[in-house]
Structure 1
């Protein structure tokens, strides 16, 4: 009997042992089979998640962010223990003791699943494996792979590194990846500022963020938060008093309107930061820029950017209102919503219209609720209906456009308004109708010596149109190109006193005869170069370009970066070839700084996520500037240290000064004299294309160069009387008045190779040293070169037709001139075709 009992139990033991061995072998085989082709976990040690790239102003303030996933990477050592404990309590209370997986949790989950109550049992380490190396499905194979990888990772990485991976990678809703971004998105706080109940709220989200929305599922989220707090208490991470206090706290969030959104602290995205995005996406690759976690120090001066926007917007709005036409936004909301404030406010909020405009006062989006005989009754976004300023626009505010209120408005029309106030005390006057102009423009300003762009406005409103007219709009520069023709001539031996004949010409283009004219439709005969550029004489410029050679003119334009490859048509000497405002301003900077190459930049420095500088504008070859005497203790009192650089010289210093002096004449008595009037020496050039389709002004002081362009996106005439001086001159002047206050300005540096001789600016004749008067100008000539007076150039063009030669006083007289071929000819009243000819085109 005893033998039978031992035999029976021995058999059972054998069966059990064999069964256990079979189970172990089976499990081992399964793990071996699934563990063969698993992805490597080694790269997790070099984890670099997609991270927000941030742009900072020159003062260090965040002004924009770009990201594919909203994530701010935070090392484990910088994550507060309280945040770690909240997630461990919520997701994996045995995190610090298990080896990557929790057998008891797995068995418990399996039992619950068998009962029909499916739940997860993944540890934090397993979740890291799922997020980084595996798919997110719920198949058994994936869970086995999770366990295998988790055990491997636990042997390769410490717990803090695993927690760092988890807390930076996890998705927590609202496009927030990682706990740092989530703290910002939900509470507008840093991790160190979070209270325990807020950390518990974030720890409630990993399971299913959409199921715990802080507004739509507020009560469910609160229950989950309280559960996490209880777990934190039971796990010993908070004491009972803290638990009781935190669980009693209300559930607050940005989404519920309890905190200001972080984005509201950022200025609206504008043309400047979007251009940085465009340029760095080109340089680093778009995907890398959006995910690389770069810190970009922009050259932007926020104060001057505001001045640029205001100056350009004022000019565009003034022109638009002079057209006398109401267009509005072109958007409407259903009229049946106007009786319910909540509905029309919701409808307004859903519309995409510009909300980034500030001109004297911020513009508000509004809806016309009722059209009356003498007023419009409005509903204004962000303004309460019982606001003491009221909700009406009087008929008197609409005098600038044609038609009655009933002709122009219907209930439901979406419009812009801004308040008008007294200049003296800021008292409210009335609400005033506004509209985004149809005409557009661009403005840009930069440091003439470093290339740092301090302001850029690419249109009236970025939210209305993201097209950047400062960098992307290819337009004809018109007469603002002429300085490059004159520069090529001055570098070729001409002087500001050289005489060029201003008379009609004809050019056979092959497609017909081109008869260019001066803007005044008058002709001035033999005229010095200085007066030619001051008065923007087209015919003189054409003759000069022909004398110098269009190939030389083109080489200068390309050397200055105005064009990559300029066409050699003679019409291009008048700015017929298209370029951008960005290129023109950068080219003019080389006049301002004495002829040295300067590369414009919107970025001072770029650092990667680890703080390593990957780009520095000052370190780029050709941009380095060195203070030679800064460490010299024996520097004489009153003598400033000398700054040396390695920049390429693109123009002779004397030529640069001569051209600058001539362009000062444009501002002081030429085509910009009525609109540009600064307290420091200023030079520049106006530009107006055929039919006034585009108008320009580009100018500079000793420190800052700035330019303005105005025109329609689909080119058409701006109307009779439109000009660069009249429209862009005021924009430049308004901006530069503030720039001079901040950046200063002074006399332009005179090269040592200059010798000054007084000449008559009308005739080019040499005058005595003691001469004075409005016609007298002291010109710079190259030292050691004997100036030649009296030689006149006609460019080889014949004089076309019959014309009067206009003298400075408006009279017409005959003059004998010497042509470039040495012949004598008479130019005067009713000078005829062929009077001047050297066998060239006509």
Structure 2
């Protein structure tokens, strides 16, 4: 047994040996690359670059070194255990899916949640607490996209989008104007609140909102909360929009017309940028000044004037939100006006009634919102809520003609339709007609050849004529035997007749009588346009809104009080007319061209067929003339077989001769081939038979007018309203350069065309157009044309040419081609009288107005010139009176010892100008009162009668 001392020695030796062995192992480990790698990994894991850069205290360095050594030892122990167990290829613990999930759950998730929550709270604090940094993150993100994506650039000011569009007549007078809108014109605060109550509750904060609404729901131009609600409602089957007022502004600026994801994203980015650049208030004012609030009404200031005849600041909240209810589409405005004009909900078309209820719902929701905010009282809220037709009428809408047409109705509406039918190139981009008219920045001027003064005078002339005892007697006489047939017609219809006796029939006829006038110059530009019965005061006032929305035969409009007619635009591009006898000059021209007929060639008045007519109850000769015959030689029968020249057949309007001429295949083929070249719309089946040759088939009104205009120079020109369009004085459209409107040859045989025009002069001088002399005594050699009356007088028309000057060649620009059309909009058995009893007389009144106007202009010009040139004449009022007295003699007195008037031989304004020059001549000084010289001048003119008779 060893002693303790020996044991101690042994233990020391053993310890020394172990230490030596450990030191050896450590030394080998230091030299082992793997060992060095372990230490490097542990050291790098323990000491971060940031910690080394900051520097470590001795205490911290000692702690981290111990931790580094501990990591090395633990990892080494892990590797030794793996070797002892033979698990050299064992996967690392985090490569096992379950272990990885556990590791992510307990190690990374708490860290992500902790820092994520802190980040979100910071963003909320920055982005949604009201103040200068509100929504800054959204706007910065939008700015990043705006700077890099190909999106439209914003201008320095929203005023760059200021827009005005004017339709002007040939004198530059405004026919219709959308006004020069100041797009950011400051608006009253109630108007702002009302429009936000209708369109965008959370655009601006409000003191009455809860704190969380002002903190979290007030949006920066884009409401994601509202978008989420719109998506939800759309998925549930109730589609609705989510555009804020700024997004609608962006849509206007971009000109987006289609709902696509790309367009919506572009609007979102631009909306953020508009708020960032211009602010919310200026964007709201831009919206209020430019938003459509009814048909062709833009901006609340214009709406206040149109609907209430008030300034915007004078409207109450009910009226403001009523305007706001019209924003989606103009049918809501149409529906409300139908109710304002006396209709009830059950009398409206179902679609229109739906629009009315949608408007009511929007008004009530907006009022409820304003009531919650304390902007209106409980009494006002209950008083202004809409619940029936009477509450709508109590809003205070003024009774005015439809805003679709403006002050002069049909002209402006047709100009608008023509402008919007094309697209235009502006600064290298294509702009639609609607964008040009409503959104194009700058001053848009649409120039026309319209004579606004002539149009307004034509309306007055028509109104006076329709209310004259003379025409009322014509209607009574023409319908004395028709009204019973019209009453019997209702026996086969599912509704009751609107009259019981002749007086009721006449009242209905006069209420639904329509007269249209359209005139073009030689270039095809429309000079005057009266589309229908848009005149006549309270009794005849046009219910133009009804015309836009009803598809009726005219009887539907009788429920209103007072009864108003449904107005039809008689003269528009799609309207048709039965040309009746006005087709005869065209048939006559092609007979001369294709069949070598001369104006003096004669033809027998023989009907084409003898046929049983059910409405007559007997066999009759066809076609019918204005006189009847069944047997040769007695009473009215004396006309059958009589010979007429081609000229006389047109002057007397003999149907039978032109029906036979049209059956000639050469004539028919030449005429229809010309129509086809022009693109004239006609019934090809009807064109195969003789009734087409006497105008029994409808043709387009404007195209038929253009055919007559071609008699002047041989060229067909499609009638149009627009002559030129400029944007900021730069021409973007010119009618003369439009290839679609180039003149097309029609009556290109000059000799035959001039012969036809001469015959048209004869028709007016002594034929069916001679009735003009009662209204226009100076018509001879100034007017040419042809009358036409549909069977039983259902419609009548007069197409004519007029130039107030005798020398048409020198004054071509003053030549007009005009159609006057009388008809009704109810159909059935009704007569508007013969063309010589209505259209001819109205045309005569219009031409007399033009002639007197030109004559007065000539007199003023001549007298002013005489004042400048002749000091003796300048200040002598007696001399001026003498000139007027002598001119009055020329215009109204007869030739000495003759039944003819002097003016029959002093033709045209230029003819009277020559006579005035003689009166004002300083050589003979007739103006001083030298009656003997003036009488010699009169005899000179009257001697023309004997010369003409001798010739």
Q: State the Cα distance separating 1:178 from its structure 2 match.
A: 15
Aligned counterparts of 1:135 and 1:60: Cα–Cα separation in 2: 52
Show CA shifts across 1:100-135 (max 9, x none): x99xx89x999823xxxx446777xx4533499957
The alpha-carbon distance between structure 1 residues 504 and 23, as it changes in their structure 2 partners (threshold 3 A), is same
How does 1:433-472 map onto structure 2 within 5 Å? 436-459=510-533, 462-463=542-543, 464-471=565-572, 472=574
Aligned counterparts of 2:531 and 2:397: Cα–Cα separation in 1: 35
> Which residue of 2 is the match for residue 532 of structure 1?
649
1:297–1:605 Cα contact (<8 Å) kept: yes
How does 1:782-801 map onto structure 2 within 5 Å? none
The alpha-carbon distance between structure 1 residues 539 and 175, as it changes in their structure 2 partners (threshold 3 A), is closer
Aligned counterparts of 1:270 and 1:178: Cα–Cα separation in 2: 13
Q: 1:129 aligns with which of 222, 237, 247?
A: 222
Partner SS for 1:675: helix
> Which residue of 1 is the match for residue 553 of structure 2?
none
2:802 maps to 1:701:
yes
Partner SS for 1:707: strand
2:592–2:752 Cα contact (<8 Å) kept: yes
2:820–2:842 Cα contact (<8 Å) kept: yes
How does 1:158-177 map onto structure 2 within 5 Å? 159-160=277-278, 165-170=283-288, 175=293
> Which residue of 2 is the match for residue 585 of structure 1?
705
> Which residue of 2 is the match for residue 273 of structure 1?
412
Show CA shifts across 1:232-275 (max 9, x none): xxxxxxxxxxxxxxxxxxxxxxx999999999999546232333
Show CA shifts across 1:406-433 (max 9, x none): xx89xxxxx9xxxxxxxxxxxxxxxxx9
> Which residue of 2 is the match for residue 330 of structure 1?
none
Q: State the Cα distance separating 1:649 from its structure 2 match.
A: 6.2
1:444–1:581 Cα contact (<8 Å) kept: no
Aligned counterparts of 1:506 and 1:524: Cα–Cα separation in 2: 12
> Which residue of 2 is the match for residue 181 of structure 1?
299
Q: State the Cα distance separating 1:446 from its structure 2 match.
A: 1.7
2:828 maps to 1:713:
no
1:452–1:602 Cα contact (<8 Å) kept: yes
2:514–2:825 Cα contact (<8 Å) kept: yes
Q: Which moved more, 1:310-319 or 1:530-539?
A: 310-319
Show CA shifts across 1:176-214 (max 9, x none): 89998233444799xxx999999xx999x999998998x
* Structure 2 unaligned residues grouped into runs of 5+: 1-58, 60-109, 128-136, 197-202, 233-241, 248-264, 326-361, 378-393, 424-431, 484-500, 535-540, 544-564, 614-618, 629-638, 804-814, 859-906, 911-943
Q: State the Cα distance separating 1:320 from its structure 2 match.
A: 5.0
Q: State the Cα distance separating 1:569 from its structure 2 match.
A: 1.3
The alpha-carbon distance between structure 1 residues 289 and 710, as it changes in their structure 2 partners (threshold 3 A), is farther
Show CA shifts across 1:472-520 (max 9, x none): 4433211011111012123347465431312314349999996324323
1:54–1:295 Cα contact (<8 Å) kept: yes
Partner SS for 2:838: helix
> Which residue of 1 is the match for residue 658 of structure 2?
541
Partner SS for 1:651: coil
1:73–1:178 Cα contact (<8 Å) kept: no
2:672 maps to 1:598:
no
The alpha-carbon distance between structure 1 residues 777 and 550, as it changes in their structure 2 partners (threshold 3 A), is farther
Q: State the Cα distance separating 1:447 from its structure 2 match.
A: 1.4
Partner SS for 1:273: helix
The structure whose residues are more often helix, as a share, is 2
The alpha-carbon distance between structure 1 residues 722 and 168, as it changes in their structure 2 partners (threshold 3 A), is same
1:697–1:707 Cα contact (<8 Å) kept: yes
Aligned counterparts of 1:493 and 1:178: Cα–Cα separation in 2: 54
Partner SS for 1:674: helix
Q: State the Cα distance separating 1:735 from its structure 2 match.
A: 1.5
Show CA shifts across 1:339-394 (max 9, x none): xxxxxxxxxxxxxxxxxxxxxxxxxxxxxxxxxxxxxxxxxxxxxxxxxxxxxxxx
* Structure 1 unaligned residues grouped into runs of 5+: 4-15, 92-100, 224-254, 328-400, 410-414, 416-432, 625-645, 750-770, 779-842
Aligned counterparts of 1:295 and 1:467: Cα–Cα separation in 2: 28
> What is the root-mean-square deviation of aligned Cα atoms in Å?
6.5
1:590–1:597 Cα contact (<8 Å) kept: yes
2:626 maps to 1:519:
yes
2:734 maps to 1:616:
yes
Aligned counterparts of 2:821 and 2:841: Cα–Cα separation in 1: 12
Q: State the Cα distance separating 1:571 from its structure 2 match.
A: 1.8
The alpha-carbon distance between structure 1 residues 262 and 690, as it changes in their structure 2 partners (threshold 3 A), is closer
Partner SS for 1:683: strand
1:581–1:709 Cα contact (<8 Å) kept: no
1:685–1:697 Cα contact (<8 Å) kept: yes
Q: State the Cα distance separating 1:669 from its structure 2 match.
A: 0.5
Show CA shifts across 1:303-336 (max 9, x none): 22222223334444435566699x9xxxxxxxxx
Q: State the Cα distance separating 1:728 from its structure 2 match.
A: 1.4
Show CA shifts across 1:45-94 (max 9, x none): 4699998976444455554579xxxx986466xx57x999x989x99xxx
Q: Which has the larger radius of gyration?
A: 2
1:52–1:65 Cα contact (<8 Å) kept: yes
Q: Which moved more, 1:169-178 or 1:732-741?
A: 169-178
1:500–1:526 Cα contact (<8 Å) kept: yes
Q: Which has the higher contact order (CA 8 A, sep 6+)?
A: 1
Aligned counterparts of 1:581 and 1:459: Cα–Cα separation in 2: 17
Partner SS for 1:711: strand
The alpha-carbon distance between structure 1 residues 187 and 528, as it changes in their structure 2 partners (threshold 3 A), is closer
Q: 2:603 aligns with which of 487, 497, 501?
A: 501
Q: Which moved more, 1:277-286 or 1:667-676?
A: 277-286
Aligned counterparts of 1:308 and 1:183: Cα–Cα separation in 2: 33
> Which residue of 2 is the match for residue 659 of structure 1?
756
Q: State the Cα distance separating 1:532 from its structure 2 match.
A: 1.5
The alpha-carbon distance between structure 1 residues 50 and 286, as it changes in their structure 2 partners (threshold 3 A), is farther
Aligned counterparts of 1:321 and 1:131: Cα–Cα separation in 2: 70
Aligned residues: 561
1:185–1:261 Cα contact (<8 Å) kept: no
Aligned counterparts of 1:578 and 1:258: Cα–Cα separation in 2: 41
Q: 1:308 aligns with which of 458, 465, 483?
A: 458
1:485–1:544 Cα contact (<8 Å) kept: yes
Partner SS for 1:129: coil
2:770 maps to 1:668:
no
Q: State the Cα distance separating 1:737 from its structure 2 match.
A: 1.5
Q: State the Cα distance separating 1:531 from its structure 2 match.
A: 1.3
Aligned counterparts of 2:364 and 2:152: Cα–Cα separation in 1: 28
Q: 1:687 aligns with which of 757, 779, 788?
A: 788
The alpha-carbon distance between structure 1 residues 187 and 667, as it changes in their structure 2 partners (threshold 3 A), is closer
Aligned counterparts of 1:164 and 1:528: Cα–Cα separation in 2: 77
Partner SS for 2:825: coil
Aligned counterparts of 2:760 and 2:280: Cα–Cα separation in 1: 66
Q: State the Cα distance separating 1:659 from its structure 2 match.
A: 1.2
